Amino acid sequence: MQFQFASASLVTLLLASTRILAWSVVAPPLATGGVPKVIKTVLSVALGLAVVPVAQPHAPAAQFVPVAESLLEQVLIGAALGFVTRLVFSAVEAAGSLLDLFGGFSLSAAYDPLMTTMTSIYGRFYALLATTLIFATNAHLLIFQGFLRTFSSIPLDGHFSLARLDRVISSGVTDLFVAALQIAGPLIVVLFIADIALGVLNRIAPQLNAFSMSFPIKIGLTLLLVGMGFTLMPGVITQLAEHANRLIGAVTG
């Protein structure tokens, strides 16, 4: 069995796969150590095959210099768009870190083998939960669809505005903190009220030594609140995926 490919199709596939691979190295849900590099490469080629008909009319000539220049440009475009996507989903991990701070878990840190970083307990847990829910809620299809549309808005011979990217990243950082507060805010308020209640109890009945009971009480309350919040997380992940697509659309606009 023999397969024949035109040189233009091969160049298009190479450039499209390069942009997708650069994006997958940075953007969730593929940007974790749990996904082997071989899987990322194979998936990038598979998705590249899907966009070849759209991207081929804008492919450069099959010559070394134009192809090399376009390869570098696709790496930069893919990495920039991946960073925008990652910025949105970092809100979930930031919310977990806030719960660690107010729930009394901030003194404990763990090594995250997927991200190869030191993270707090709930920060790591929420990051793993977000990755799981991305696949469980089919949000990964929204993420892939939003990114693959960039081959129409930013063709292989096109350019994207760095000024527009700067504005999107600036607003994305603001959205990161707002989303983290929206996710963890209700739980933080309850934990803050619990601190006030324990302080008042310690003033009313010092013999109870309420502060010695504060750690197990807050730990149990945190576990209870996090468990109750599980029902809301699938909707949060879907909204974050849609917001990531809107940011990517604003960059490629």
How confident is the model over 155-189, as pLDDT tens digits? 888 777 778 888 888 888 888 888 888 888 888 88
- Whether residue 167 is contained in a domain is answered as yes
Give the distance from CA 203 to its chain's centroid: 45
Residue 234 included in any domain:
yes
> pLDDT at residue 55 above 80?
yes
- Residue 244 inside a domain? The answer is yes
Given a contact cutoff of 8 angstroms between Cβ atoms, the answer to whether 119 and 218 are in contact is no
* Inside any domain, residue 1: no
Whether residue 170 is contained in a domain is answered as yes
Give domain status of residue 220, yes or no. Answer: yes
**123 with 97: CB under 8 angstroms?**
yes
Residue 172 resides in a domain: yes
pLDDT greater than 60 at residue 4: no
Output the CA angle 245-250-253, nearest 5 degrees.
110
Residue at 2 is within a domain? no
Domain containing residue 104: 7-252
- Is-above-0.85 flag for pTM? no
Total domains, the chain? 1
pLDDT of 61-117, one tens digit each? 878 888 888 899 999 999 999 999 998 988 888 888 888 877 777 666 655 555 556
